A and B are shown apart, each in its own frame.
Chain A
């Protein structure tokens, strides 16, 4: 059966390398300082919305800048549930995925009529509208003051259970969430729907001509990307234990963009690498605080010309060089 060997072996190889990466990350706290771990926690906070952006941009071809809006909605949802009802983390987290996803449906009605620049602008607009709501709905969100002393994640079925509070514990919680999110993304991307999203990205008219409901799949991509962003918001809010309208600040949207586009859009490894590299970089640059953002800006602009498809490309090339025979053999050509 020649048909499975190629694709199958390739996927098995990817699974194996994925398992290896997870194992390394799981063992990392044994050697890492708590500062290094907290940097990785920030990477993971941004990785979750970045995976959603990767789905909608890299696969369905729509550049949505609404990610951090949904991230904020997820964060507020999770925080409010925990504060008012003392619910366990799994419930807060699920609600933080669900509420932005549901909110994405009415927002999609104007947005999905648009393409290209207009779509991008419309999604930027959503973030500002959400910011304004969070500032002005004082009864719910306490306005500009924001919510403080949000409970830490409580791991338990209903009442009682274990409360996450050390950096290492947060690290493992984040790792678990990210592994689940990446697994979900891989499943979607490898499903028939994922294949159809790529078709929409490549040529929407051609994709419609083969009988696909393009609007439904674009909606699905938008809604799913919102759910990923909401997941990030939940993890974030229980980590920093405060949330205010500043979560909708364009800086955060820019960070997610950098993670995805700088990492390598439309690949699984791209945003993961981008998350680690670019956030670590911004931490490393703290040694020169005044110059930090200037240098960061320079690196961003240069990376577009040096690595137009993101840093994942040169990095995988290096890895291929290091592991010569089997990795390349299984590629099929």
Chain B
């Protein structure tokens, strides 16, 4: 029972971490909270559903296609809106991304209808791991998350683009002076962050089975809790915070009551903030 809950929590936590890490890199580089982040998660799931249901592709083919679709979508939004948010105040950024959130959420409803759609795909056959039956899809989620986080750590720490990201995160004016193309860095980071959310959406849809236009909203809000607990900008911290949240949720749902599940994220957030205002895994004091 307990082991079951822990694996469940780990899987859900990986989903949260994968979405949140995209938000955290966007926040770090752009300095804006992306209120539409969960909408890219939703877009990823819908794009894959469309590929399977309407184009008759297999699940494995639908994954790259869905990511490509979301990448193109975020290229357009990034080019038209997000790039300009570099010079805009924090509050204005919230309004702008809220607008995008409404646009995408209701756009999906407009295109695919307001009802739930059933996502038919993925590998749901159970597999025996440590004496327990777990759906293959769940194991895949955890493995993909680990791989993505490993790659991100490398990207941010070692690659030259990572250096540019860190430079923009620290001081935009200096980057302008040094001739670094800030807008390009922002655009690429934004596409990276949103495609991670989309990947998470595609990977999760076979488990949740139902997809709908407003499914991203709850994910956006939970990502807020995860990125703050993770210390805002720390990649490893985001993964740990995601796992902690996922496991706590699954324990609370089982032992306290299902109706308390959605309050876990924010109760945990407030407790962590009371204890350490800069998040658990961050030693830097950074507002």
**Chain A residues within 8 Å of B, Cβ to Cβ:** 57, 63, 109-110, 113-118, 120-122, 124-126, 128-129, 131-132, 135-136, 250, 254, 257-258, 261-262, 265, 290-294, 296-305, 308
Contacts and interface: CB of A to CB of B under 8 A. Distances in A.
Contacts of A116: 90, 287
Contact of B221 (A115, A250, A294, A297): A250
Interface stretch (B97-105, B118-126, B137-145, B187-195): B97-105
A300 B95 contact: yes
A297 B262 contact: no
Contacts of A261: 91-92, 94-95
Interface of B: 27, 33, 81, 84, 88-96, 98-107, 109-110, 217, 221, 224-225, 228, 232, 257, 259-260, 262-263, 265-267, 269-270, 273-274, 277-279, 287
A318 B257 CA distance: 57
Given A121-B225, A257-B98, A258-B98, 13 more contacts: A117-B27, A121-B269, A124-B221, A125-B267, A128-B221, A129-B263, A132-B263, A254-B102, A296-B99, A300-B95, A301-B99, A304-B88, A305-B84
Contacts of A115: 287
11 contacts: A63-B91, A110-B273, A116-B287, A118-B278, A136-B259, A261-B94, A290-B109, A297-B104, A298-B99, A301-B96, A308-B88
A291 B100 contact: no
A110 B269 CA distance: 11
A257 B269 contact: no
A229 B261 CA distance: 27
A262 B99 CA distance: 11
Given A117-B287, A128-B263, A301 B270 contact: no
A241 B257 CA distance: 30
B99 A129 contact: no
Contact of B277 (A118, A258, A297): A118
B102 A257 contact: no
Give the 7 A-B CB pairs with smallest separation, nearest first.
Answer: A297-B102, A300-B99, A301-B99, A132-B263, A297-B103, A125-B266, A293-B106
Contacts of A297: 98-104, 106
Contacts of A299: 99
B103 A294 contact: yes
Contact of A301 (B33, B103, B107, B266): B103
Contacts of A121: 224-225, 228, 269, 273
B33 A120 contact: yes
B20 to A, nearest CB: 12
A121 B217 CA distance: 15
A258 B100 CA distance: 13
Nearest to A125: B266
Given A294-B102, A297-B99, A297-B106, A122 B92 contact: no
Contact of A257 (B94, B110, B267, B279): B94
> What secondary structure prevails in chain B residues at the interface with A?
helix
B287 A122 contact: no
Contacts of A110: 270, 273-274
Given A116-B287, A121-B269, A308-B88, A303 B278 contact: no
Contacts of B110: 290-291, 294
B261 to A, nearest CB: 9
A114 B270 CA distance: 11
A289 to B, nearest CB: 10
A132 B262 contact: yes
Contact of B92 (A57, A129, A291, A308): A308
Nearest to B213: A293
Nearest to B104: A297
A129 B217 contact: no
A118 B228 contact: yes
B266 A128 contact: yes
A114 B33 CA distance: 16
B105 to A, nearest CB: 7
A143 B123 CA distance: 38
B106 A294 contact: yes
Given A116-B287, A294-B103, A258 B270 contact: no
Contacts of B98: 254, 257-258, 297, 300
B33 A128 contact: no
B88 A135 contact: no
Contacts of B265: 125, 128
B228 to A, nearest CB: 5
A206 B27 CA distance: 27
B99 A304 contact: yes
B64 to A, nearest CB: 28
A57 B91 contact: yes
Contacts of A131: 263
Contact of A132 (B93, B107, B260, B278): B260
Contacts of A117: 27, 33, 228, 232, 287
B273 A298 contact: no
Interface centre among A115, A120, A301 (most CB of B within 10 A): A301
Nearest to A294: B106
A297 B96 CA distance: 9
Contacts of B95: 257-258, 261-262, 300-301, 303-304
A165 to B, nearest CB: 34
Nearest to A132: B263
A152 to B, nearest CB: 32
A261 B92 CA distance: 7
A136 B252 CA distance: 14
A85 to B, nearest CB: 29
A10 B274 CA distance: 45
A122 B269 contact: yes
Contacts of B102: 254, 293-294, 296-297, 300
